[in-house]
Amino acid sequence: MKIKDLRNGMKHVSVEAKVMEKSDTREVLSRFSDTTHRVATAVIGDETGTIKLTLWNEQINQVNVEDTVKVENGYVTSFRGEIQLNVGRYGKLTVE
């Protein structure tokens, strides 16, 4: 699937793209428990466009700028007006 084809609400998404930039890591408090999680955002792109990819905890250290990443069984959400790709609990993130 190509990035230009991704739409808010899509599920079972598989995308392969290059990491173009990566944000600093920040800590967020879980709304389900009193635990904190680390989160960062990577901008990934292919020849059709770019999208933000949300990275959680150990995923942050796996991904670097210039890496090619493959997201399998991901899903697309909208956050603050822009669509984002998420790996989620049932998805898989692979760095190639």
Domains within the chain, CATH numbers bracketed? 3-95 (2.40.50.140)
Going by C-beta distance under 8 Å and a sequence separation of 6 or more, which residues neighbour residue 37? 27, 28, 30, 56, 57
Encoded tokens for 56? 């959680």
- Measured CA to CA, the distance from residue 61 to residue 14 in angstroms comes to 21
Which residue in this structure is represented by tokens 């942050």? 60
Look up the pTM and report it. Answer: 0.92
Q: What is the pLDDT of residues 6-50, one digit of tens each?
A: 999 999 999 999 999 999 999 999 888 889 999 999 999 999 999
Per-residue pLDDT, 31: 85
Per-residue model confidence (pLDDT) at position 14:
98
Quick: pLDDT tens for 34-92: 899 999 999 999 999 999 999 999 999 999 999 999 999 999 999 899 999 999 999 99
The C-alpha atoms of residue 55 and residue 46 are separated, in whole angstroms, by 18
**18 exposure class (CB count in 10 Å sphere: 0-12, 13-18, 19+):** middle
